[in-house]
Amino acid sequence: MMVMSLQGYDFDKCNKLFLEQLRRQEYSKETIDGYRKDLENFRCFMRTVISKEDFSVDLINKRVLLDFMDAGRVRGNKASTIGRRLSTLKSFYKFLVYELDYPVDEAARIRTPKVYVPLKDILSAAEVQRLLQSAKQLPPCYSLLFNALYYTGSRLTPIRMLEKQHVHLKEKLIYLSEVKGGKDHYLPLHPHLKDLFESYFTEHLSTTSNYVFPSNRIPSQPLSASDIRNKLRYAARLADLSETITPHTLRHCTATHLTIQNVPQTKIATILGHADLRSTMRYQHLAVEHLRDSLDLL
C-alpha cells in the first residue's frame, strides 16, 4: 500500500497514480482514456472553484462533488454523462482509500442517479444480415470483424485486440483477453464465424503482426477504434441503414436476438461477459460447451 500524509494528497499526483494502477490491472486503453478525461473535467471545474492551478484532495468534499454534478446539468450535460463522471470519481476515491490510505471516501455518500438509457438502432436479424452482406464490399478484415462482433456479442476492444493465438479453430473456441474489468473470457465459435475465420486465416491473414486485425499503417498495432467505427458507418450506408450504428449496436443486437430466441438470461449474461468470470481459464473451459447451442441460434 502506498501511504501519503494528508498534506501530500496532491490531486494531480493522485490522479497519475490512479491511472497507473488501472494500467497495471490491464484495463483497456479506451477505459483508461475515459477515466482520464472525466478526471480532467473535474480538475477544470476545481480550478474555477478555488482559482488555483494545483490543489489537494482534502479540498474536495461532498458539497463540492454535488456542485460539480450541478454544474454539468447547467452546461446541458446528459444525465448519463453526469452519472458516468460520478462513477469515475467513486472509483478514484476507492483507490485513494484502499491504496493511498486516504481517511474519507467523500464520493461514497453520493447516490448514483438512475438513468434510463433506451437502446437505439436495434436491428432486426434480417437487417444485421444485410449489414454484414454489405460489409463484404470492404477489405476482408472489416467484414470478419463485424461478423465477430455480432456472433460473439463482444465489445469492440476485445475483438480489435484479438490475437491469432486466441482463435482456436480446432477446438471451436475464441478467447477474448481485453474484456471489461480484466476478466478472462472463452466463448464457443459460432459455425458461421468459424468458417469465416478459416477462410480469412488461409487467404488474408497478415504474417507481420500478432493481431488478427492489424493496422495497415502500423502492423504491430491493431486497427483503431475510430477507423472501425467509420467503416461500420460506411457499411450501414451501403445497406441503406442508419449511419448512427456503432460496434456496440451489434452487441445489443446479439443480446436482443438471443432474448427473442428465449435463451435464458443467465446464459446471455455469460456470453456478454456480465457474469463474474475472473476465475482461471479452466473454469471457462468447463462451462463453454453449455453456451454453444445458445450462440448457434443466431
Q: Tell me, what's the pLDDT at 283?
A: 26
* Summary mean pLDDT of the chain: 85
User: Which of 20-29, 47-56, 183-192, 222-231: highest mean pLDDT?
Assistant: 222-231
Task: Examine the pLDDT at 261 and tell me if it is beyond 60.
Answer: yes
Within this chain, do residues 72 and 140 fall inside the same structural domain, yes or no? no
Q: Tell me, what's the pLDDT at 245?
A: 92
Within this chain, do residues 61 and 149 fall inside the same structural domain, yes or no? no
Q: Any alpha helices (H) in the chain, and if so which ranges?
A: 11-24, 29-50, 62-74, 79-99, 125-134, 140-152, 156-160, 191-203, 225-238, 247-260, 265-272, 281-287, 289-295
Within this chain, do residues 140 and 281 fall inside the same structural domain, yes or no? yes
Q: Tell me, what's the pLDDT at 173?
A: 95
**Count of the separate structural domains present in the chain:** 2
Within this chain, do residues 172 and 95 fall inside the same structural domain, yes or no? no
- Reported as a pLDDT band with limits 50, 70 and 90, residue 181 is low
Within this chain, do residues 137 and 242 fall inside the same structural domain, yes or no? yes
Pairing outcome for strands 183-188 and 173-179: antiparallel
Q: How many CA atoms lie within 13 A of 252 on its CB side?
A: 13
Determine which of 41-50, 140-149, 177-186 has the lowest per-residue pLDDT on average: 177-186
Q: Which residues pair with 211 in a beta bridge?
A: 163
The residue-averaged pLDDT of 80-107 equals 93
- Reported as a pLDDT band with limits 50, 70 and 90, residue 117 is low
CATH of the domain at 268: 1.10.443.10
Is there a domain that residue 1 lies in? no
Q: Tell me, what's the pLDDT at 242?
A: 87
The residue-averaged pLDDT of 124-134 equals 95
Burial of 64 (0-12, 13-18, 19+ CB in 10 A): middle
Q: Tell me, what's the pLDDT at 112?
A: 79
Within this chain, do residues 29 and 139 fall inside the same structural domain, yes or no? no
* pLDDT (tens digit per residue) in 187-218: 999 999 999 999 999 998 888 899 999 998 99
Task: Examine the pLDDT at 6 and tell me if it is beyond 60.
Answer: no
The overall pTM is greater than 0.75 = no
Question: For residue 48, what are the domain limits?
Answer: 6-109
Within this chain, do residues 257 and 226 fall inside the same structural domain, yes or no? yes
The residue-averaged pLDDT of 252-273 equals 82
- Longest CA–CA span in the chain (Å) reads 62
